[in-house]
């Protein structure tokens, strides 16, 4: 690191200390001769107890640790504005999520290969999942040990979660002990990114162990305002720190890791994006690129909720002694990820892969946890895995804001699948394994029966599952933002490495795949040989 004018120069500048950003900070700074700057708009992840306590994740929503985005009024969802939490803290969304470890379906990555080349096929990306993983259950052809990211079985599984698995088996859904092995389909208890009963975020796994490196410089409270260009080459980042506006220069690469909302926002603020939109915003054009901000996808989800007749749910688990047990020993009900169980199903036999995922919470989970109904409850959450609808991200009234147009459930097939998933959730909820616990169906309620009534419930209640992706997607066509190596097309010295590069959303929670993208990108940047795919059973 050295100064040129008023700017310090590094080899690499990483914008965003989320999952992919933490991976890159670790891997790129492993060479002591390389200077790495990591910029994070949020602050430390060690100042808030709820980050460490797994069951408290929803208490982080709409706090200083959350960007707390909302969509514009959604035309297909009664013009509601949907809440999209995004981590604004070291670790990014891995510091405020539900910690479920799901990679996605093998077919997802083979589809990615159609956009980014064979290097993104399942056999090529699996070694990067293995390299990232420290699997509690040990090594196997589908799991790694000794990697930075701890993957654990849950320490305290609620009896309602076990009842969910049994109930799903009753209606013919097979049990699956490992959704990340040879087959994804089935129901079971989720594994989580926890260690010793506490959250183990990307910051815990990748960043904190290397903070002592002299060549890694982490700046928190640093909001990137634009990428600095000389011609068509990215040479650094302008960022705000307190009341100062600073510039850092990158001699090799600038790497955006802000996620599916912040990365396209920064590109557009810097003059890369849809030409007409940037002209309307008064932003000087560096490189016209129609695809920036397009292709937004997320997983629509909603709840089928029942009253619970026995006091076994998590609804009253927030006691002083349970909190003490979780903090000091990593034990007890507050180590729960809340969405303890779930699974993957095909709502039509003709499908080649699951189209619905279930998240089961042994508690009320209504409106992101902000609403607490009286008494005890449990919630079955059908989730649309492969939405056909597409939205977009644009700059808002000013370049400092964003306008998110989700366009969710615009496609009729998306609504059909959500209705099918809800009906299947009700069948599970009515199975005999729940007889001991099940009270009245609270949501949508017994009066909601007809196709029209169920569809109206979906439009009224569906929310996003916090998995926005796709707004800087990879590919070689005119709507692609990055190529298969994740370099931004039409310019040099600039990459995007985060969930925004996914061409299609994975079938399942997106954090593990984002970590894998970071691992793979590190090898691309360093021109390192890819790990061998190994053998498959």
DSSP 162: H
Sign of torsion over alpha carbons 299, 304, 307, 313 = negative
DSSP of 229-296, one letter per residue?
EETTEEEEEEEEETTEEEEEEEEEEEEE-SHHHHHHHHHHHTTEE-HHHHHHHTPPPSEE-TTTT--B
Contacts of 62 (CB under 8 A, 6+ apart): 68, 85
Look at residue 518 and tell me if it is in a domain.
yes
Confidence (pLDDT) at 533: 63
Surface-to-core class of residue 53, CB atoms within 10 Å of its CB (0-12 exposed, 13-18 middle, 19+ buried): buried
Please state, in angstroms and as integers, the Cα–Cα distance from residue 308 to each residue in 312, 361, 443, 484, following that order: 8, 12, 13, 49
Confidence (pLDDT) at 243: 92
What's the helix, strand, coil split of the chain in %, to 5? 30, 25, 45
- The whole-number average pLDDT for the span 257-262 is 98
Confidence (pLDDT) at 44: 96
- The whole-number average pLDDT for the span 139-146 is 97
Identify the CA nearest to 129 among candidates 154, 153, 112, 109: 109
Confidence (pLDDT) at 6: 57
The long-range contacts involving 43-51, CB below 8 angstroms and separated by at least 24 positions, are 43/89, 43/90, 43/220, 43/221, 44/89, 44/90, 44/220, 45/89, 45/90, 45/91, 45/95, 45/201, 45/203, 48/89, 49/327, 51/89, 51/91, 51/95, 51/96, 51/199, 51/201
Identify the CA nearest to 118 among candidates 485, 469, 478: 485
The H or E element that residue 425 is part of is helix 412-429
532 — pLDDT class (breaks 50, 70, 90): confident
372 — pLDDT class (breaks 50, 70, 90): confident
Phi, psi (deg, nearest 5) at residue 431: -70, 160
Look at residue 460 and tell me if it is in a domain.
no
DSSP 401: S
Confidence (pLDDT) at 537: 42
User: pLDDT tens across 373-398, in order?
Assistant: 889 999 999 999 999 999 999 999 99
User: pLDDT tens across 180-215, in order?
Assistant: 999 999 999 999 999 999 999 999 999 999 999 999
State the Cα–Cα distance between residues 348 and 376, nearest whole angstrom.
33
State the Cα–Cα distance between residues 447 and 373, nearest whole angstrom.
19
Confidence (pLDDT) at 3: 41
State the Cα–Cα distance between residues 109 and 1, nearest whole angstrom.
38
- The whole-number average pLDDT for the span 491-515 is 98
State the Cα–Cα distance between residues 20 and 514, nearest whole angstrom.
6
Per-residue pLDDT for 531 more than 90? no
User: pLDDT tens across 273-332, in order?
Assistant: 999 999 999 999 999 999 999 999 999 999 999 999 999 999 999 999 999 999 999 999
Q: What is the chain's mean pLDDT, rounded? A: 96
Look at residue 394 and tell me if it is in a domain.
no
Confidence (pLDDT) at 166: 98
- Percentage of the chain modeled with pLDDT above 70: 98
State the Cα–Cα distance between residues 65 and 62, nearest whole angstrom.
8
Look at residue 123 and tell me if it is in a domain.
yes
Cα angle 415, 416, 422; round to 5: 90
Which active-site residues does the annotation give?
Answer: 467
367 — pLDDT class (breaks 50, 70, 90): confident
User: The CATH number of the domain where 117 resides is what?
Assistant: 3.50.50.60
Per-residue pLDDT for 361 more than 80? yes
Q: Of 6-20, 74-88, 400-414, which gets the smallest average pLDDT?
A: 6-20
| Count of domains for the chain | 1
Confidence (pLDDT) at 69: 98
Look at residue 56 and tell me if it is in a domain.
no
Confidence (pLDDT) at 536: 47
Look at residue 291 and tell me if it is in a domain.
yes
The structure tokens 């005999």 sit at: 432
Confidence (pLDDT) at 207: 98
User: pLDDT tens across 24-61, in order?
Assistant: 999 999 999 999 999 999 999 998 999 999 999 999 99
Look at residue 16 and tell me if it is in a domain.
yes
Phi, psi (deg, nearest 5) at residue 416: -60, -45
Structural domain boundaries enclosing 284: 1-50+86-150+200-295+468-529
Confidence (pLDDT) at 425: 98
State the Cα–Cα distance between residues 35 and 361, nearest whole angstrom.
44
Surface-to-core class of residue 401, CB atoms within 10 Å of its CB (0-12 exposed, 13-18 middle, 19+ buried): exposed
DSSP of 333-395, one letter per residue?
GGG--S--EEEEE-SSTT-SS--EEEEEESS--BGGGTB--SS-EEEEEEEESS----BEEEE
State the Cα–Cα distance between residues 95 and 200, nearest whole angstrom.
8
Tell me the two tokens of residue 505. Answer: 């959303």
The structure tokens 């040479």 sit at: 235
Look at residue 66 and tell me if it is in a domain.
no
State the Cα–Cα distance between residues 291 and 136, nearest whole angstrom.
41
């Amino acid at each position: 690191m050295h100064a040129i004018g008023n700017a310090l120069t590094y080899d690499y500048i990483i914008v965003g200390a989320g999952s992919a950003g933490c991976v890159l900070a670790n891997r790129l700074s492993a060479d002591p001769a390389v200077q790495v700057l990591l910029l994070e708009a949020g602050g430390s992840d060690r100042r808030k107890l709820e980050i460490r306590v797994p069951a408290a994740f929803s208490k982080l929503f709409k706090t200083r640790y959350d960007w707390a985005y909302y969509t514009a009024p959604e035309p297909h969802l009664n013009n509601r504005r949907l809440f999209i939490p995004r981590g604004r803290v070291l670790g990014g969304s891995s510091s405020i999520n539900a910690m479920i470890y799901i990679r996605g379906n093998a077919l997802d990555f083979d589809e990615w290969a159609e956009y980014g080349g064979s290097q993104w096929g399942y056999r090529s990306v699996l070694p990067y999942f293995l390299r990232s993983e420290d699997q509690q259950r040990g090594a196997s052809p589908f799991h790694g040990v000794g990697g930075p990211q701890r993957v654990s079985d849950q320490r305290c599984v609620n009896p309602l979660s076990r009842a969910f698995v049994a109930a799903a088996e009753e209606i013919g859904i097979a049990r699956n002990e490992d959704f990340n092995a040879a087959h994804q389909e089935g129901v079971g208890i989720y594994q989580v990114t926890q260690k010793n009963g506490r959250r183990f975020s990307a910051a815990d796994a990748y960043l904190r162990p290397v903070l002592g490196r002299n060549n890694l410089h982490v700046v928190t409270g640093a909001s990137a305002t634009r990428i600095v260009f000389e011609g068509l080459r990215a040479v650094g980042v302008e960022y705000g720190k307190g009341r100062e506006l600073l510039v850092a220069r990158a001699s090799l690469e600038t790497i955006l890791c802000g996620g599916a909302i912040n990365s396209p926002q920064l590109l557009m603020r810097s003059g890369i994006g849809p030409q007409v939109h940037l002209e309307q915003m008064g932003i000087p054009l560096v490189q016209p690129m129609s695809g920036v901000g397009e292709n937004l996808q997320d997983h629509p989800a909603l709840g089928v909720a029942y009253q619970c007749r026995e006091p076994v749910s998590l609804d009253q688990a927030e006691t002083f002694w349970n909190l003490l047990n979780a903090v000091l020993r990593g034990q007890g009900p507050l180590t729960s990820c809340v969405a303890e169980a779930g699974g993957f199903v095909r709502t039509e036999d003709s499908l080649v892969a699951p189209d619905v995922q279930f998240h089961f919470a042994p508690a009320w989970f209504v409106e992101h946890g902000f609403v607490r109904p009286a008494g005890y409850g449990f919630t079955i959450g059908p989730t649309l895995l492969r939405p056909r609808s597409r939205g977009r991200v644009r700059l808002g009234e000013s370049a400092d804001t964003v306008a998110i147009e989700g366009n969710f459930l615009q496609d009729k097939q998306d609504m059909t699948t959500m209705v099918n998933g809800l009906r299947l959730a009700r069948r599970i909820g009515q199975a005999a394994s729940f007889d001991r616990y099940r009270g009245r169906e609270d949501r949508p309620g017994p009066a909601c029966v007809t196709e029209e009534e169920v569809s109206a419930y979906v439009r009224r209640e569906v929310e996003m599952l916090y998995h926005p992706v796709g707004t800087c997607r990879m590919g070689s066509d005119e709507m692609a933002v990055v190529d298969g190596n994740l370099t931004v097309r039409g310019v040099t010295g600039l990459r995007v490495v985060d969930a925004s590069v996914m061409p299609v959303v994975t079938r399942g929670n997106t954090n593990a795949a984002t970590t894998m993208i970071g691992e793979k990108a590190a090898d691309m940047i360093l021109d390192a040989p890819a790990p061998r795919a190994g053998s498959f059973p």
